[in-house]
Structure 1
Amino acid sequence: MKKNIIYILIAVVGGLALGYVLFGSSSKTSENAVSAEGQNHDHSGETAADMWTCSMHPQIMQPEPGDCPICGMDLIPAESTSDGLAANQFTMTENAMALANVQTTTVGNAMNMEAGTVGLSGKIMENEEANAIQASYFDGRIERLYVNYKGQEVTKGQLLATIYAPKLVAAQQELITASSLKESQPALYKAVRNKLKLWKLSEKQINAIETSGTVRENFPLYATVSGTVSELLSAEGDYVKQGQPILRVSNLNTVWATFDVYENQISEINKGQKVTITTNAYPTKKFTATISFIDPVLNTQTRTVMVRATLNNKDNLLKPGMFVTGSIKGLDNLSGASQISVPSSAVLWTGERSLVYVKTDSEKSIFEMREVTLGAKSGDNYTITDGLVSGDEIVTNGTFTVDAAAQLQGKKSMMNQGKAEMKDEVETEMNMKLSESVQQQLKEVLPNYFTMKDAFVNSNAKKVSQFASELKAKIDTIDLTKLGTMEQSHITKSKKLLKTISENEDLETQRSHFVMLNRTIIPLFKNIEGLSKTAFIQKCPMANSNKGASWLSTEEEIRNPYYGEAMMTCGSVIDSIQ
């Protein structure tokens, strides 16, 4: 029995030894192969995320890692598509582009087409200086109206109407009676004749009444000017008062061309400049006009000034209401020379926004939506004052098809503004736990904030730097140990941003950091209780590259710190701290 057990043990040990000899080396070989394969694995397809976002606030997108400006959490790499596209980029197949006839154009300077020339859009209007009103010179009833439709040509001396005028009938009888007494009472006779002259009767008409001795009941009314009837103001059978208009006559031998000129072009427009005008009605003809009037008041809705030029129209080619385009040459210092010009077919409108689609890769069909600010329209082109740079390749044909592709892929489009466009009011609705002592310190900080904000309004970079340093010094005194993690993060982030602002005297750089500062510091101020004076939270939708940016103010009136005098009143009150 003992011998059998010994044999079994020897067999087991032998089996293990033989297995190690046969399979041990191959296992090592496999491990080495796996290790070598791991060392030789190609990582070239793995790239670091270009953008960083917050898991709690996905509207935050920053080009480098750091803390979320809203909640203070660490930023994480933003998701990208499997082919490495940015969050709002999308692709279209070559087949889809060909079927939709999608075409792109590389945009450049608006003035490159013809240096020193600006294009204007306008329309033809009546020359109001040549208009005239034909009125009744006495009370009466219109018995017959010989001019009875708009557009009818009228010549001076033409019979316009006959009017029954009781007072004129009595005055005629007075004339007949006074004519028999003109030798004995010449003053009376002269007074009666003068009375008729005041009613615009001519010497010939008065002499005819006196000679015939007959009273005329229906008296004729003659045209005093020549022109085209532009408006009928009375009809047959109407009772009219002395001086009441019967019709308006326009002389169209000269007409006005009125144009809307944008603010950035006003300085180059002067009276007496020549304007070359074309119209779709006569595409081969060019008309020359002279600027005769520049409206002294700016239209605050369109930010334009009306400019008027007078045109000779003896051939009656130009009709009031026609759309025209004008060009003014020789403007060497035109302030709009750096603007971009795009075809109108490239622009989509959503009511408040103007959009174009940019092809971001010249080699691939990769697109993204871009919001732009439109300037003046010249013919079929718009100038872009913000949103594009020279060299951008944009979609100029098939724009709606590209927009539809963006919507289907869940990207930013006309109907979908995307996460990055979410309202930033959420940043002010955060509940923070602040002790009474910390709230008191923040109340003492507020006046320094307002002083710095006013320096931004005045575009004084040196003062901004000084006041930012003073504000940081006060915030440095806040005891962070009495705050939670989120509150500490906001204070710390605010101090970093204030330090950056104080150490930099470039105003635009300061303003870009002021955007971030307000995101971190307004939630702190929003959680203060018992302010002595209401603070208004205001927002400019155009600031921060049209993403919008907020600030605090003691006054409800808008005084924009992001643009200063350039756009002082841009913005609105979105909330308040009582």
Structure 2
Amino acid sequence: MKQRIILIVVAAIIGLGVGYVLFGTSDADTMEATVHDHTTASEDQMWTCSMHPQIMQPEPGDCPICGMDLIPAEVGTGGLSPEQFSMTDNALALANVQTIVVGTKSAGDDNSISLSGKIAVNEEAVAVQASYFDGRIERLNVNYEGQEVRKGQLLGTIYSPELVAAQQELLTTVSLKQSQPQLYQAVRNKLKLWKLSENQINAIESSTKVTEYFPVYATVSGTVSEVMSAEGDYVKKGQPIVKVSNLNTVWAEFDAYETQLSQLKKGQRISITTNAYPNKTFNGKISFVDPVLNNATRTVTVRATLANQNEQFKPGMFVTGKIQNDKNFSYESKLWVPSSAVMWTGERSLVYIKVKPDEPVFEMREVMLGVRNGEQLEVISGLNSGEEIVANGTFSVDAAAQLQGKKSMMNKAGGKTMTGHEGHLGMQPQEDSNSSEDQMKMTLPDTFQKEFEKGFPAYLKLKDALVASNSKQAAIHAKATLEIWQRPNFSDLGTMERGHLDKSIEMLEAITTAGKLEDQRSHFVILNANMVAIAGELKDLGNTLYVQQCPMANSNNGAVWLSAEKEIRNPYYGDAMLTCGSVIDSLR
């Protein structure tokens, strides 16, 4: 028995030795290869939080939101990088997403500059009808703006004690005309200085009666642009009664961006079109380029004088001007993209790249812009010729990025929530301090700002309804906000500004028709992303608005909203997490 046990042990030892000789090297190599593969994989490994999947870090550590240990993140579906995301074909069709290849020239790129503007009164042809003596207006025949007057037409009558005394003085000196001709002539000259004509003075002499209510006649022909006095008013010498504009010529005034100044000069020909006469083109020349830049809009006024036959141009009418570029201006040698492709956050200019030609996979890219040429923007850096970008439906693509926790217009870090002191509107601070000045900024016309601000009270009621989790009231107030913003015709908005407004209106319509509170709150996320971008550019708000943010909303991607109170009342969760959030900015 002992010998048998010894033989078994010896056989086992021999077997282990033979196995090591035959397989030991191979196993070591396999193990080494395995370790090598793991090392390679770890170099590309990203770490995320199980509670906050928007957190992506290249190294393990703690979640900056909840403090939990980070876990290895899975590689993007379909081999996508963490910055990339995909959209379904159905979503692309609904959003009408269209792409173009950078470097290709579209049919509308005719090497010209397009400017938007309005028809204005020619200030050089404006006359003010003033009173040439003190008195009281007894009757005024000009009562409203737009009234036509002709030279010599009776404007009104004035009772003037001073003029009554002067007429009596004239009648007295008539009898002394032969003996004291100088005195007589001095009295007549005095009346002439008050703009009385020779015929009027002779009529006073021949009638030998004093006219108590003296007539005032128009000295020019034109259209009344402003009535500056009323019947019964006491007027002083030189005080204006009515302003008359001659509309035989008008000004076409355009706003040109600061970056377009090098391409504009006095004397350039400009072709002008208007919606009132869509099949007509009017030719003019630039007669004035404002030497002073408007600091609020960063634009200058460019003016052309137009003949106004049959008064076809009305002051206030929107017009579009097109100026052919100088021959030395090279269009082909630069990269151009349509303005509809670019989104501006106030600090960055962004586009979306289609990274796979045959698949709807996109990635956000930051670009540096140069001059603006009509609806085309020059790209200085950030894009290469041949790359495919989203040209239409950019805001819808951005919304898809937000919902998937990727880098987006309102979130540079791909969903990572920042506190208020870390960056404007929850975004990381810019490393390049000059980029804000170099990027193309939104220009909001005064008329748009006034009308947009009228919608804030209804919007705040919408926010309060969502705080109260009242779906019915939310729909009512969303509709009220929608009606205010749809009422005006904002035809003077640029493509970028129009994109923010259209997306806001689209989300308000969705909130109005949504049947579930959860859906309303999802639409409210995208509404606020666009509203905050617009509100941040308003020059003057009646009251302070606070930009507030909840890091847990929008599937832990974070979402913002506007509030008139500093105290947090969360519209995305209501009573469930009423005070969740923080103030990240204030708009005054």
The normalised TM-score by structure 2 is 0.59
What does residue range 58-457 of structure 1 map to in structure 2 within 5 Å?
81=76, 83-108=78-103, 113=108, 116-300=111-295, 302-329=297-324, 331-334=326-329, 338=333, 340-372=335-367, 381-384=376-379, 387-418=382-413
1:365 deviates by: 2.1
1:243 deviates by: 0.8
* C-alpha spacing 1:156/1:128, structure 2 compared with 1 (3 Å): same
Q: For residue 12 of structure 1, what is the aligned residue in structure 2? A: 5
- Supply the distance in 2 between the matched residues of 1:363 and 1:147 (Cα, whole angstroms): 70
Q: For residue 435 of structure 2, what is the aligned residue in structure 1? A: 542
* C-alpha spacing 1:544/1:124, structure 2 compared with 1 (3 Å): closer
- Supply the distance in 1 between the matched residues of 2:251 and 2:299 (Cα, whole angstroms): 18
Specify the SS of the correspondent of 2:224. strand
Q: What letter matches 1:160 in structure 2?
A: L
1:110–1:383 contact (8 Å) kept in structure 2: no
Superimposed CA distance per residue, residues 476-498 of structure 1 (whole angstroms, 9 cap, x where no aligned partner): xxxxxxxxxxxxxxxxxxxxxxx
- Supply the distance in 1 between the matched residues of 2:225 and 2:93 (Cα, whole angstroms): 52
1:269 deviates by: 2.7
Give the gaps of 5 or more residues in structure 2.
48-54, 59-71, 423-430, 440-588
1:120–1:377 contact (8 Å) kept in structure 2: no
2:259–2:370 contact (8 Å) kept in structure 1: no
Q: For residue 446 of structure 1, what is the aligned residue in structure 2? A: none
Q: What letter matches 1:542 in structure 2?
A: S
- Supply the distance in 2 between the matched residues of 1:385 and 1:305 (Cα, whole angstroms): 23
1:146 deviates by: 0.9
1:218 deviates by: 1.3
Superimposed CA distance per residue, residues 397-453 of structure 1 (whole angstroms, 9 cap, x where no aligned partner): 332321122112222212212179989x99xxxxxxxxxxxxxxxxxxxxxxxxxxx
1:388 deviates by: 3.9
* C-alpha spacing 1:127/1:47, structure 2 compared with 1 (3 Å): farther
Superimposed CA distance per residue, residues 340-395 of structure 1 (whole angstroms, 9 cap, x where no aligned partner): 44444433343444433222232332222234456666665555555444433222
* C-alpha spacing 1:348/1:270, structure 2 compared with 1 (3 Å): closer
1:25 deviates by: 9.3
- Supply the distance in 2 between the matched residues of 1:270 and 1:352 (Cα, whole angstroms): 30
Q: What letter matches 1:130 in structure 2?
A: A
1:275 deviates by: 0.7
1:143–1:236 contact (8 Å) kept in structure 2: yes
Structure with greater Cα Rg: 1
Q: For residue 463 of structure 1, what is the aligned residue in structure 2? A: none
* C-alpha spacing 1:166/1:392, structure 2 compared with 1 (3 Å): farther
Specify the SS of the correspondent of 2:216. strand
1:194 deviates by: 0.9
Superimposed CA distance per residue, residues 202-244 of structure 1 (whole angstroms, 9 cap, x where no aligned partner): 1111111111112111111111111111112111111111111
Identify the range of structure 1 (133-142 vs 104-113) with the bigger mean alpha-carbon deviation: 104-113
Identify the range of structure 1 (373-382 vs 341-350) with the bigger mean alpha-carbon deviation: 373-382
Give the gaps of 5 or more residues in structure 1.
1-7, 62-76, 427-518, 520-538, 547-578
Specify the SS of the correspondent of 1:315. helix
* C-alpha spacing 1:222/1:418, structure 2 compared with 1 (3 Å): same
Q: For residue 563 of structure 1, what is the aligned residue in structure 2? A: none
Tell me the number of residue pairs that the alignment of Structure 1 and Structure 2 aligns.
408
- Supply the distance in 1 between the matched residues of 2:26 and 2:197 (Cα, whole angstroms): 122
Instruction: Give the alignment's Cα RMSD to 1 decimal.
Output: 4.4
* C-alpha spacing 1:185/1:288, structure 2 compared with 1 (3 Å): same
Q: What letter matches 1:229 in structure 2?
A: V
1:325–1:378 contact (8 Å) kept in structure 2: no
* C-alpha spacing 1:78/1:127, structure 2 compared with 1 (3 Å): farther
- Supply the distance in 2 between the matched residues of 1:255 and 1:319 (Cα, whole angstroms): 9
- Supply the distance in 1 between the matched residues of 2:200 and 2:313 (Cα, whole angstroms): 39
Specify the SS of the correspondent of 1:169. helix
Superimposed CA distance per residue, residues 122-150 of structure 1 (whole angstroms, 9 cap, x where no aligned partner): 22221111111111111111111111111
* C-alpha spacing 1:268/1:315, structure 2 compared with 1 (3 Å): same
Identity of aligned residues (%): 57
